[in-house]
Structure 1
Amino acid sequence: MRAIATLFAILIASASNAQTYNIKDYGAVADGKTINTNAIQKTIDLCASKGGGIVYVPSGQFITGTFSLKNNVNLHLETGAILKGSANIKDYKSYEKPTYGTNYYGIIFTENAENVSITGSGAIDGNDSAFFEFDKAKKIDSISTKYSRQQGNYRKVSTGIGDGPVVPIEPRPRQMVLFAQCKRVTLRDVSLLNATFWTLHFADCDAVLVDGIRLWSNLLVPNADGIDVTSSSNVTITNADIRTGDDAIAIVGYDHHFEIPGFKGIKKDCENIVISNCNLQSASSAIRIGFLDQNDVKNIQISNVNITNSTRGIGLFLRDRGSLENINISNVYVQTKLRTGDWWGNGEPIHISAIRGKEDVKLGKIRNVNFSNIICEGENGLLVYGTSESTIQNLSFKDITFKVVDSKLNDVAGGNIDLRGVLGEKNQIFKHDIPGLYAQYVDGLTIEDFKLEWPDSIPSYFTNAITVKDFKNLSLHQIKGTSSPSNSSLKSVALIDGTGIKTDLDKTELSKENVN
C-alpha cells in the first residue's frame, strides 16, 4: 500500500509541474465573434516547442477555424469553455479532393502526432445551425424505394420534415475532430456538440482512449456520425453518452481515407476495439461495424451498453473484401423504431448482412460473432442476411429477449429489408416477410434461450418467431415464442433448405422444407 501511495504522489507531482499555456495570454478573445484560430495555433506551437504541456482554454466562447494539435500537448477546456466553429467556411483549412473539388477540415485536424489529448469539462461546438436548412428535409431517392412494399409512398411524410434528415448547405466543414496516423490519443470528459459531419474520427491511429465524453449532434443532421474508427488499433471507448443523427459509433477497415488528402493506403486492419458502459442513440445505426472495408475488422468487444431511440441497433455490414471476425457483444439493451426520411436502417435491433457492394472483388466473410444477454424492443425483426458468395460463419445468439413493437409508421415503412450500400436496384430496400428473427446463408448458427413477445395485433407480413433458410449446422434450443398473432396458424420456427440440425423443438413447433 505504501508503494502505491508513493507512486500516486509522484504522478500528482508530475502533473502539477506540467507547463500551462493560457490561450488568452497569446491573443485569444472570448467575445463570441473574434476568429481565434491563429491565437490558438500559436499557443499550441509554443507548448509543443517547449516539450509539451497543457494548452488551457478558460471559460468563455472562442470562435475558431481549423487548428492542429502537436506532440505531447493536452488541450484542456475549463468548465464553461466553448471552442465554437466559425460560420464562415473560409475560416477552415481547405484541401482539394479529386472529382469533388475544394473541401474543408473541421475544427481540429491532427496528423502524425503522439501523446496528444483533449480533456476537461468544456465543449467543442461545430455550429451546425450555420450549415443546414432545418426547415427542409432531404428526400429519399425513388430508385432505392422502387421495390419496397410502399414504393413511392415509402417513408412519406404528409406535412413538415418528419424525422429529417435536413438539407446541408455545401460546402460544410468535414470531421469536427480528426486524428490521422496518431499514437497515444486521449479524450476525456469533454463535450463534442453540433457537428456538421463526422464528429470524432480516428484514422490509422494506435492506442486510443475515449472516456467519459458527451457527444451530441442534432438527430436531424445527416452524416453527423459520433465516433468513427477507421483502420485503427487498440481503441477503448467507455463511459460515453453519444446521441447522433448518423451512426453513433462506426468501426471500419478502410485502406484509404477520402477525407485526408495525400493519404496513401496501407494494409492495416482495424482491430482490438473495446466499447463499454455507453449510452447511445442514433437516427441510423447505434453501432456500425464494417461497410466497404478493404482491410479486416476484428477482435471487437462490446458490453454494458444501452441503445435507445435508434433506427438500427447493432449492425455488421460486409460489402467488400475485408472480413469481420471475432466479435463479442454482451449485456446490451436495444430499442429501435421505424423513421421517415432518408436514414439507413428500418427498425432492426440487430442487423448482420454480407452482400456485394463493389464489383470485381472477392467478398470477405463474417465469422465468429457472439451475442449474449441481449434485451431488445423493436419495430422490425432481427436480421441475418448472408448470401451464396459470402455465407456467415459461426454465429451465436444466447439469452436473447425480443419484444416486437407495433409501429405507427407500418403503413409507410413496415415490411421491408434495407440493405443499402449494395449493388443492384432490387437489393436496396425491398418487400419481405418479417419473422422475429430471419436468417439465410449461415453455417454454424446457434440460437439458445431465445424469448419472443408479439403485440396483440400486428400487420400480416409478420410471420414466424424464427425463419432460417439455406443453412448448415443449425442448433436451436430453448425457443420460447409463437408465430405472430396475424399468422397464428404458422409454426413457431420455419426451416427451409438446410442440413444439420440439433434442436429440442417438437413437431408442433417446427416446420421443415427440404431439410436433411
Structure 2
Amino acid sequence: MTKQSASDQLSRRAWLGKVSVPAIAVAGAAMISTRMPEEAAVAGIFDIRDYGAKGDGKTLNTLAIQAAIDACSAAGGGQVLIPPGVFLSGTLQLKTDVTFHLSAGAKLLGSPKREDYTAGKGVPAGNGNIVFLYAVNAERLSIEGKGTIDGNGLAFYTGKGDNTGPGQNGVGGNFDRPHLFIFYQCTELRLHDAFLQAGAYHCIRLLQCKHVYIDGVRIYNRVNKNNDGFHFSSCQYVHISNCDVQCQDDACALFGSNKFVTVTNCSFSTRWSIFRFGGGESQNIAISNCLIYDTYGCPIKVSAGRASIENFTFSNIIMRNVTGPIGIGFSGSSNNNSVVTSSASKPFVRNISFNGIRASVVALPVPHPDIHFDLHTWEGEKNSCITLNGMDDHYLENISFTDVQVNYAGGGTLAQANKREVPKVAAEYFGVWDTAPGGPPAYGMYARNVKGLTLQNVRLEFEQNDSRPAVVLDNVQDAAFNGLNLKGSMEAESLLRITNSKDILFTATRILAPCQVLLSLEGPSNEGIQFDGGDLRKAKKKVVYSRGANDKALTIRI
C-alpha cells in the first residue's frame, strides 16, 4: 500500500467531522461543537449546541433547542442531537421527519417555572394540555437514544390532583401543570430506548394517533399526583414492547376508541391500575407476556358505560402483590365517567379472554415507599376479588378464563359473605363494593349479568381463612366450568353461591379443603344447573336451597 498524503488524511478528517453517527457523538462528548448550523444541515445532524444551547443545567435553552428542531424540519428532516449534559428547557414542539436523539449522558430537564410552558398549539383542550414536548399532525417522528427526559415534576407538586377519580368529575382539579409528552393526530411515531421520568402530570399522552411503535422505553413517574405512564385516546395500530413502567396512576390507560393495539414483554408497577379501559369503541387489543407487581386499584380494569368493547386478550401475565386483580363493569349508560360513543346503537362488552394468568392478591393496598404523599384506600379494595359486573338488562358476553391460578390473602368475613343486594355501580370495580362497605361477597370471583362465561383449569385459593364463597354467580347464563379447583372453608356457608342463573355446567370440579356446603342455590329463577363428575368429597353437604330455589333446577352426577 502507498503512504497516504497529508492532504488525504486531512480530507478524511474533515469528512468524518461532517458524518453523524451515535458513536462519533459519544466520542466527542467532552468537546464543544464548533460547526456552523449550515455545516450541520449538510450532515443531517442538528446539534443543539450549534444553536446556542448550554448543558450546564442552569441556562434556559428553549429557544435554542426549538431553533434546532425548526431548522431540521425546514431542511426536510434529520436528527436533532441532544449531546451529553443537562439542558434546561420549557415547552418544545417536535415536527415531521425529525429524529430527536438523546445521547448517552444527555438529560433534557424541564424548567421548574410554570411561565416557561405553554399549551400545545393545536392540541385540543381536555384533561389539561400544558406540555413539555408535543407534536401535532406530525409524521415519521422519532424520539430515541440512551439519554433522559426529566419533567422536574416535583416542582409542580401542590398536594392536589386533577380530581377525575370516581364521582369527582374534575371539579376543582389541578390541570395547570405540564404533561411530559402530548402527541395529537401523529402518524408513524417511534419512541425507542429513552428514560422518561418525573413528569408533573401524565408521561405520554397519545391522542388520535396511528402507527405508533414504542420499544425499550423506561418510565419512572412517581413525584406528582395523576402520574400516568401511557395514556391513549382513540389511537390505532399502537405497538408497545420491552418497556418498564413504574408510575403512580394508570400505567397504560386506553380511553375512547382504541383499535389494533398490542402490548408485550413489559413490566409494570403502580398505585392504581395497569390496563385501564373506559368507554368508546375499543376493539382488537392483545396484551401478552407482561409482569405486574406492587399494583393496587386493580391491574386490569374495564369500566364502560355506553361503549362497544370487544376482542381483548390477556395472556401469559404474572401479577405479584396486587388488589383486584381483574374488574369489568358495564352499565349500558353514559353517566359513569366513561368516554361516550354516539355510534353504538346498542352498547356491548364481549369477547374478552384471560389465558395463562398467575396472581397473588394482597388483603389491601400497601404504600409505595417512593411515593411521598398519602393515597386514599377505598373500602372496596380490601379483600378484593375478580369482579364481572353487568347491570340492569345489559350483559357482559363471552368472557373466558383459561389456565388461571390466583392466590388470595383471604380474611373475608361472614358479614361480607351475606351481601345479597349488590349496588348497581360500574364506574370503578371497587366502587361497587364501596357503596356497600366491607368488600365483595366472594373471595375468588363475583359475576353478575354475564352470558357465555367459561372457566377452564382455574384454581382459586386463599392464605388466611376466608368465610366467603369462592365464587358467586348472580343472573349468569350459559356458563361452563371445567377443572375448577377451589379452596373451601368450614366457616363459610357454602363454597359456591348461585342466584337466579341458568344453563350452568360444572365438570371435573375439585374441592381443595373441607367446606360445609358445596352449593347454595338461591332464588326462584334458577334453571339447568348441573354438576358432572369431579371430586366433591370434602363438602359435608352438597346443596342448600333458599329464597325460592328448589331441587328441580339442579342435577348432580358423581
Deviations 1:221-276 (A, max 9, x none): 321110012111000010000011100001121xxxxxxxxxxxxxxx31000000
- Give the SS at the match of 1:201: strand
Residue in 1 that maps onto 2:378: none
Normalising by structure 1, what TM-score?
0.77
1:229 touches 1:250 (CA, 8 Å); kept in 2? yes
Residue deviations 1:346-394, cap 9 Å, x none?
A: x201111112451898772110000011001113211111112321000
**Identical aligned residues as a percent:** 28
Q: How many angstroms apart in 1 are the aligned matches of 2:178 and 2:165? A: 27
The aligned residue for residue 51 of structure 2 is 26
2:315 counterpart residue number: 330
**Matched letter for residue 430 of structure 1:** A
Question: Counterpart in 2 of 1:311?
Answer: 296
Distance 2:110 2:243 in 1: 22
Letter in 2 for 1:403: N
Residues of 2 paired with 1:73 and 1:95: CA distance? Answer: 17
Cα separation, partners in 2 of 1:407 and 1:141, compared to 1, 3 Å: farther
Q: For residues 314 and 329 of structure 1, do their structure 2 counterparts lie closer, same or farther at Cα, with a shift above 3 Å needed?
A: same
- Does the alignment pair 1:501 with 2:489? no
Q: Is residue 2:221 matched to residue 1:244?
A: no
Q: Does 1:430 align with 2:439?
A: no
Q: In the alignment, which residue of structure 1 is the partner of 2:327?
A: 351
Mapped to 1, the partners of 2:55 and 2:76 lie a distance apart of 27
Question: For the residues of structure 2 that align with 1:183 and 1:241, how far apart are their CA atoms?
Answer: 24
Once the two structures are superposed, the pairs formed by residues 110-125 of structure 1 within 5 Å of their partners are 110-125=135-150
Asked whether the equivalents of residues 89 and 171 of structure 1 are also in contact (C-alpha less than 8 Å), the reply is no
C-alpha distance in 1 between matches for 2:175 and 2:297: 28
1:21 positional shift: 0.8
CA pair 222-139 structure 1, distance change in 2 beyond 3 A: closer
Mapped to 1, the partners of 2:267 and 2:447 lie a distance apart of 28
Secondary structure of 1:130's counterpart equals helix
Match of 1:273 among 261, 275, 278: 261
Deviation at 1:104, TM superposition (A): 5.4
What is the DSSP-based 3-state SS (H/G/I as helix, E as strand, rest coil) of the residue aligned with 1:24? helix
2:411/2:464 contact within 8 Å kept: no
Aligned to 1:371: 354
2:130 aligns with 105
Describe the SS at the equivalent of 1:124. strand
SS at match of 1:304: strand
Equivalent-residue separation in structure 1 for 2:225 and 2:474 (angstroms): 35
2:480 aligned to 475, 483, 487, which one? 475
Which of 237, 248, 270 aligns to 1:234? It is 237
Secondary structure of 2:238 counterpart: strand
The residue that corresponds to 2:93 in the other structure is 68
Q: Describe the shift of the 1:52–1:95 C-alpha distance in structure 2 as closer, same or farther (beyond 3 A).
A: closer
Paired position in structure 1 for 2:373: none
The 5-angstrom pairing of residues 505-516 of structure 1 reads 509-514=518-523, 515-516=526-527
Structure 2 residues without counterparts, runs of 5 or longer: 1-18, 23-41, 363-383, 512-516, 528-558
Q: Secondary structure at the match of 1:353?
A: strand
The equivalent position to 2:202 in structure 1, one of 190, 193, 198, is 198
Within 5 Å, which residues of 2 pair with 1:173-184? 173-184=177-188
Partner residue in 1 for 2:306: 321
| Alignment coverage as a number of residue pairs | 439
Aligned equivalent of 1:93: 118
**Separation in 2 of the partners of 1:87 and 1:106?**
13
**Could you tell me how far 1:309 is from its partner in structure 2?**
0.4
Question: For 1:120-159, what aligned pairs fall within 5 Å after superposition?
Answer: 120-133=145-158
Asked if 1:454 corresponds to 2:442, the answer is no
User: Do the aligned partners of 1:20 and 1:54 also contact (CA within 8 Å) in 2?
Assistant: yes
Q: Is the 8 A contact 1:112 1:180 kept in 2?
A: yes
SS of equivalent to 2:55: coil
| Alignment partner, residue 164 of structure 1 | none
Alignment partners' CA distance in 2, 1:216 and 1:90:
25
Q: Give the superposed CA RMSD.
A: 3.5
Q: Which amino acid aligns with 2:196?
A: L
> Could you tell me which residue of structure 1 aligns to residue 274 of structure 2?
286
State the secondary structure of the residue aligned to 2:450.
strand
1:454, distance to aligned residue in structure 2 (A)? 1.0
Residue 403 of structure 2 corresponds to which residue in structure 1?
399
User: Which position in structure 1 is the counterpart of 2:385?
Assistant: 381
Aligned partner of 1:70: which letter? K
- Range moving further from structure 2, 296-305 or 446-455: 446-455
Q: Contact 2:102–2:144 at 8 Å: present in 1 too?
A: yes
- 376-385 or 503-512: bigger deviation: 503-512
Q: Deviations over 1:323-348 (max 9, x none)?
A: 111001100011344xxxxxxxxx20
- Give 1:201 shift: 1.1
Work out whether residues 383 and 438 of structure 1, in 8 Å CA contact, stay in contact via their aligned partners in 2. Answer: yes
Alignment-mate amino acid for residue 229 of structure 2: G
The whole-number CA distance in structure 2 between the counterparts of 1:482 and 1:323 is: 36
CA gap of 1:472–1:297, structure 2 versus 1, over 3 A, is: same
Distance, in Å, in 1 between the alignment partners of 2:75 and 2:490 is 71
* CA pair 364-38 structure 1, distance change in 2 beyond 3 A: same
Q: For residue 198 of structure 1, what is the amino acid of its counterpart?
A: H
Of 71, 74, 78, the match for 1:49: 74
How far did residue 286 of structure 1 move?
Answer: 1.2
* TM-score (ref. length: structure 2): 0.72
Give the distance between the partners of 2:164 and 2:75, measured in 1 at CA. 54
How far does residue 296 in structure 1 lie from its aligned partner after superposition?
0.2
Residue type matched to 1:375 in 2? Answer: R
Distance 1:399 1:15 in 2: 48
Counterpart CA distance in 2 for 1:192 and 1:418 is 40
Between the aligned partners of 1:400 and 1:377, the Cα distance in structure 2 is 11
